[in-house]
Amino acid sequence: MNDPADPPAARALEVEQLHKRYRELAAVDGVSFEVLPGEVVGLLGPNGAGKTTTINMILGLLEPTSGRVRIAGIDVATRRAQALARTNFAAVYATLPGNLSVRENLRYFGLLYGVGALTARIEHLLEEFDLVRLRDTKCGLLSSGEQTRAALAKAMLNEPRLLLLDEPTASLDPSAARSVRERIKRLATRDRCGILWTSHNMGEVEAVCDRVLLMSRGRVLLEGEPHALPHEHGAGSLEELFIRVAREPLVAAVGGPP
């Protein structure tokens, strides 16, 4: 959504000193990063690292204990509706209502988002994601790959400045996953949409992401380009570095080869 109200040259996402505590547990502990327009950033880390909590705070589903989130320059805490109007989300576990057809789902969510010229927008997205022949098929009858394409079409309805993707290709076969990755990369490049992508597939991350953030125990420990970062820290691959960060104490994880 290219809205005149957006600050000029605003970053797609700014996360500043984000904390989330549950009594004595620090689920997220001082996380700061940004996503630029047209950039795909991988948010990586083992289960329990704080990724989902971070995403939920970005989406306004959780209130931070402290810190700030801005989407397209708009503060989520003070102008939540305006910020989230420039955001969308897709995940393998967030399936569309199965009793509605693809077209009905797009119309339903388009009305929720207040999308203008909705019929034309739906037709464009059906073409964009190869869903024309499936327009009247109920989403519950779609294959995994088709469901993922429908979910991505839904996620692009409002032309978001920021797209959050949580394991979007986890259930797909290699051919379908490659097709989805290519589409998402094209969205970033063509539409200047900033994308925050979580995945446990390091090969996928290397193929798609411009930059990665490695989280553990609620903190971002490492940040850099996915092909260069492992070598900077004495690891043979991104997967090896991921495993080291997951297994080692905080100090050892960031200190280089053991």
Asked whether the CA dihedral 162, 166, 169, 171 is positive or negative, the reply is negative
Backbone angles phi, psi at 29, to 5 degrees: -130, 80
Residue 22 lies in a domain: no
Q: In what order do the strands lie in the sheet with 25-35?
A: 25-35, 13-22, 66-71, 74-75
Residue 127 lies in a domain: yes
Q: What share of the chain is helix, strand, coil (3-state, %, to 5)?
A: 40, 25, 40
Task: Point out the residues of the chain with pLDDT beneath 70.
Answer: 1-9, 248-258
Q: Is 165 helix (H, G, I), strand (E, B) or coil?
A: strand
pLDDT digits (tens, 9 = 90+) for 96-119: 999 999 999 999 999 999 999 999
Say what angle helices 118-128 and 144-155 make with each other, to 10 degrees. Answer: 140
Among 35, 154, 40, 15, residue whose Cα is nearest residue 89 = 154
**For the chain, how many structural domains are there in total?**
1
CA separation for the pair 38, 189 (Å, rounded): 5
Residue 75 lies in a domain: no
CATH number at residue 239: 3.40.50.300
pLDDT reported for residue 170: 81
The 8-class DSSP code of residue 150 comes to: H
Residue 70 lies in a domain: no
pLDDT reported for residue 258: 42
Expressed as residue numbers, the domain containing 95 is: 36-60+86-254
Residue 101 lies in a domain: yes
Say what angle helices 118-128 and 102-113 make with each other, to 10 degrees. Answer: 130
Residue 12 lies in a domain: no
Residue 55 lies in a domain: yes
